[in-house]
Amino acid sequence: MRAVIEPFRIKVVEPIHRTTRPERERLLRQARYNVFRLRSEDVLIDLLTDSGTGAMSDQQWARMIQGDESYAGARSYYRFLEVVNALTGMPHIFPVHQGRAAEHILCTILGGPGKVIPSNTHFDTTRANIEYTGATALDLPIAEALSPETLHPFKGNMDVKRLEELIHRTGAERIPACFLTLTNNTLGGQPVSMSNVQEVKATLDPYGIPLIIDASRIAENAYFIKLREPEYADRSPWEIAREIFAIADGCYMSAKKDGLVNIGGFLAVRDASLARRIEQLLILWEGFPTYGGLAGRDLEAIAQGLQEAFQEDYLHYRIHTIAWFAEQLRQRGVPIIEPPGGHAVFVNAARFAPHIPAEHFPGQAIVCALYVHAGVRAVEVGSLMLGKRDSNGRHIAPPLELVRLAVPRRVYTQSHLEYVADALADLFAQRQHLRGLQLLSASPFLRHFTAELEPLEPSLLLSGDTVL
């Protein structure tokens, strides 16, 4: 039998809301053409993010009620600690309310003007937290990662040669740490191979530069290693993840991804003196070290969720779902990043709408049209999210213009995704009607969350006559 099934059945359902096309035209206009400003009730299928949007299991909900809400030393903390320690092997573990809290603490300690922190590719909040300290966030992906249709089993890998050159050019003393993002969200949810993690570590070691793993999607990454790196075919994803952590000097995780929870995360390190500094900032910003900004019930949910996320049945279904979704888009001619990653399918907006220049946000034009046409919310990962301006105010585009269709964990079925594929195929057939947008206002950091935009010229796909 070839059919891959969901390794669960549905016990609770949540209705989704239909809107009409004229309503969506008005709602998007009111949201200033930024889908982050929409109300979720006005969205039919929400592929904005896979972060914190997953469905918890009956086991997780059962553990929630057992949450110990004591301020200090709660039983729930020790359950959390046991699982995170078993997974990471790190001696110093701190709960945080989500991934960026870990980044904030870590970057405050490691960053500062003149410092450079390289990565395979920094996630947007990581980059922002590094830059906020005055340090430079540098992406060193392998060349294949920037070529949307080039097939490579581990497009998330770091370019080790460029890392070596950077260390020589910059001097190790200015590089307080090297990050590796597993999987590499910004460039398509692409995995990093075990051999790349080992090579990066071997490159850093002679200079004493610590390796920090951004483990937000470590389970999906471990499963890709099992599928694609022959030596690991017989190892469990949990064992593979343990081996990755064993190489690293520290790690952090947004448990809103592969922790299968709606809020939470952790930061973990080997070095005792670094741990002491983390603890001080944790108490200042997050909370006492045995809860770190989370309720006891959240710690319970993470402890259970982490174990479920590594189950092979679940990971097989998860990775297969994304591959199936990608195949649906491929069959409909929609250009996507190949091969598809672990948590999302990324549409190649530069090929979808080549007539819209980067400074007019081709990805955002597709995101807006997809919402108006079908009530589907996606997110732009391109010039709006990652673009910069030079000193003359000219737009500097990132290497890729993408639209991310992130699939929440255990939430949508095959027919939901088929609907999205059909909607994108409709838009693709009418793509010459897509029109660019311009920024009305934007904040200096993470501007895509709050930016206000307007269409440059009337677009049939956004308002007026329905062409579809």
H/E segment holding residue 380: strand 379-381
Determine the angle formed by the axes of helices 414-429 and 312-331, rounding to 10 degrees.
Answer: 20
Q: Does 214 bind ligand PLP (CB under 6 A)?
A: yes
Q: Does 256 bind ligand PLP (CB under 6 A)?
A: yes
Stretches 119-127, 144-152, 172-180, 384-392: which one binds ligand PLP (CB under 6 A)? 119-127
Q: Does 51 bind ligand PLP (CB under 6 A)?
A: yes
Q: Are strands 211-214 and 250-254 parallel, antiparallel or unpaired?
A: parallel
Q: Which is nearer to ligand PLP, 107 or 367 (CB)?
A: 107
Token digits of residue 428:
């693709």
The single residue among 257, 318, 404, 410 that binds ligand PLP, judged by CB under 6 A, is 257
Q: Does 223 bind ligand PLP (CB under 6 A)?
A: no
Stretches 56-64, 80-88, 95-103, 413-421: which one binds ligand PLP (CB under 6 A)? 95-103
Q: Does 123 bind ligand PLP (CB under 6 A)?
A: yes
CB closest to ligand PLP, residue no = 99
Taking the complex as a whole, the smallest distance from the CB of residue 179 to ligand PLP amounts, in Å, to 9
Taking the complex as a whole, the smallest distance from the CB of residue 139 to ligand PLP amounts, in Å, to 13
The single residue among 119, 185, 196, 328 that binds ligand PLP, judged by CB under 6 A, is 185
Q: Does 98 bind ligand PLP (CB under 6 A)?
A: yes
- With helix as H, strand as E and coil as C, how does 421-453 read? HHHHHHHHHCHHHCCCEEEEECCCCCHHHCCEE
For the purposes of burial, counting CB atoms within 10 Å of the CB of 360, is it exposed (0-12), middle (13-18) or buried (19 or more)? buried
Residues in the chain: 468
Token digits of residue 98:
């989500």
Taking the complex as a whole, the smallest distance from the CB of residue 22 to ligand PLP amounts, in Å, to 34
Stretches 56-64, 252-260, 329-337, 360-368: which one binds ligand PLP (CB under 6 A)? 252-260
Residue 218: which of 194, 199, 200, 202 has the closest Cα? 194
The single residue among 76, 126, 290, 348 that binds ligand PLP, judged by CB under 6 A, is 126
Q: Does 221 bind ligand PLP (CB under 6 A)?
A: no
- Torsion over CA: 393, 397, 398, 404 (sign): positive
- If you search the block for the tokens 């070529």, which residue do you land on? 147
What distance in Å separates the CA atoms of residue 357 and residue 401, rounded to the nearest whole number? 10
What distance in Å separates the CA atoms of residue 105 and residue 268, rounded to the nearest whole number? 12
Residue 438: which of 393, 388, 394, 384 has the closest Cα? 384
The single residue among 119, 216, 321, 348 that binds ligand PLP, judged by CB under 6 A, is 216
The single residue among 24, 79, 92, 100 that binds ligand PLP, judged by CB under 6 A, is 100
Q: Does 181 bind ligand PLP (CB under 6 A)?
A: yes
The single residue among 265, 292, 339, 340 that binds ligand PLP, judged by CB under 6 A, is 265
What distance in Å separates the CA atoms of residue 197 and residue 152, rounded to the nearest whole number? 16
What distance in Å separates the CA atoms of residue 83 and residue 93, rounded to the nearest whole number? 11
Q: Does 99 bind ligand PLP (CB under 6 A)?
A: yes
Peptide bond into 125 cis (omega under 30): no
Q: Does 404 bind ligand PLP (CB under 6 A)?
A: no
Give residues in contact with ligand PLP (CB under 6 A).
Answer: 51, 98-100, 123, 125-126, 181, 185, 214, 216, 254, 256-257, 265
